[in-house]
Amino acid sequence: MRRLCLGIALLVAAGSAQQYDHVTVTTDSFVSRFAPLGAWIESNLGLSDTTVTAEAIYAAFPGRDRPEKLRNFIKHAYSNWGTTHVLLGGDDDILPCRKGWVDASSILPPIKDTVPTDLYFSDLGGDWDRDGDNVFGEVEDSVDLYPDVHVARMPATYRSSVDRMVGKFLSYCADPSAAYLRNILLTGFDIAISPPVYGEVTMALYDSLYVPASMKPATRVYDSHSGNHRSAVLDALNAGQHMYIQWDHGNTDESARHDKKVELVTRMMELKKQQACPRPEEAKPQREATPRPRARHHG
């Protein structure tokens, strides 16, 4: 295990053959905070781990902007280190995201906008801008949307929030035999009737192909089921779920079934707010020099 690749430029130039299954990318001031998580990943998941700083990546890799430099590093790690898992250690004001184009002109109201997506760091084919217009993920950019590596993000802005996130993760996973780690909730509802888009079809596919045997039988709430769907979903969430996969309309603080809003996420939002405020004396790490507008969210 090597915890930090400070000499990344030399490693790249030399074509290092060292293998790292899992790479954490974070800012300089967060490195020590992620060290306990890296140690846990190696000892419990059997993945060789290393941490690379964004500052080193920006200095060593080409790209039109910081997101592209991060992605080019991940492509290098995937091709040369055999990397299969990447953790982005920081919110988008620490590690920038890419915004992909969404054109949903056929719905009312029509949507044409860019939305943040970390799939850009996971789907490594092409550059997501085949036509060179600096609008990423358009149809003409021929993006296949197939993830080549597993990418996750811990959206922390402050050192104290990194400590809390890592600490809660380690506490949650401390006992690998804990029963709650085997709980999964699948919810699938009808997105459209004509043409038919039935969420439960996708959930059934997930259940048959991707849910491990140790997590079966999954708790399922589908549109074709009888009873009160809202109550069924809330009861399942309150019972405790390790994973919750939803196919439905929604927004930042609600899930919706057709025209009936189901405030499923409110409880999660309240939980997220607990201890979420940074210590007043703690300074935020340096932001990028060029501010980026926040994307609008759509239901």
204-258 pLDDT per residue, tens: 999 999 999 999 999 999 999 999 988 999 999 999 999 999 888 776 666 665 4
46 has pLDDT over 50 = yes
pLDDT of the residue at 192: 77
Q: Answer yes or no: are the C-beta atoms of 55 and 4 closer than 8 Å.
A: no
pLDDT of the residue at 242: 94
Pairing between β-strand 197-198 and β-strand 260-262 as defined by DSSP bridges: unpaired
pLDDT of the residue at 4: 53
Q: Answer yes or no: are the C-beta atoms of 9 and 59 closer than 8 Å.
A: yes
- Cα Rg of the chain, angstroms: 21
**Cα–Cα dist 28/56, whole Å:** 9
Task: Pick the more confident residue, 265 or 145.
Answer: 145
279 has pLDDT over 60 = no
Task: Pick the more confident residue, 264 or 101.
Answer: 101
- Write out the two tokens for 131: 């036509």
295 has pLDDT over 60 = no
Write the pLDDT tens digit of every residue in 68-77.
Answer: 999 999 999 9
pLDDT of the residue at 285: 54
Question: Which of 94-108, 161-175, 250-264: highest mean pLDDT?
Answer: 161-175
270 has pLDDT over 60 = no
Task: Pick the more confident residue, 95 or 14.
Answer: 95
Pairing between β-strand 150-154 and β-strand 197-198 as defined by DSSP bridges: unpaired
298 has pLDDT over 90 = no
Q: Answer yes or no: are the C-beta atoms of 22 and 49 closer than 8 Å.
A: yes
Question: Which of 15-19, 103-107, 175-179, 286-290: highest mean pLDDT?
Answer: 175-179
pLDDT of the residue at 87: 98
* Global pTM value: 0.77
Q: Which residue has the tokens 């060179």?
A: 132
The string of DSSP letters for the chain reads --SB-TTHHHHHHHT-----SEEEEE-GGGHHHHHHHHHHIIIII---EEEEEHHHHHHHS--SSHHHHHHHHHHHHHHHS---EEEEES-TTTS--EEEEEEETTSSS-EEEEEEEGGGGT--SS-S-TT-SS-BT-GGGT-----SSEEEEE---SHHHHHHHHHHHHHHTS-TT-GGGG-EEEEE-EEETTTTEEHHHHHHHHHHHTS-GGGPSPEEEETTS-S-HHHHHHHHHHH--SEEEEESEEETTEEEETTEEE--SHHHHHHHHTT-SPPTTPPPPPPPSS--PPPP---
Of all residues in the chain, the percent with pLDDT exceeding 90 is 63
Mean pLDDT of 79-89: 97
pLDDT of the residue at 256: 60
CB atoms closer than 10 angstroms to residue 36: 14
* Mean pLDDT estimate for the chain: 83
pLDDT of the residue at 238: 92
**Cα–Cα dist 245/210, whole Å:** 12
Write the pLDDT tens digit of every residue in 103-159.
Answer: 888 776 788 899 999 999 999 999 999 999 999 999 999 999 999 999 999 999 999
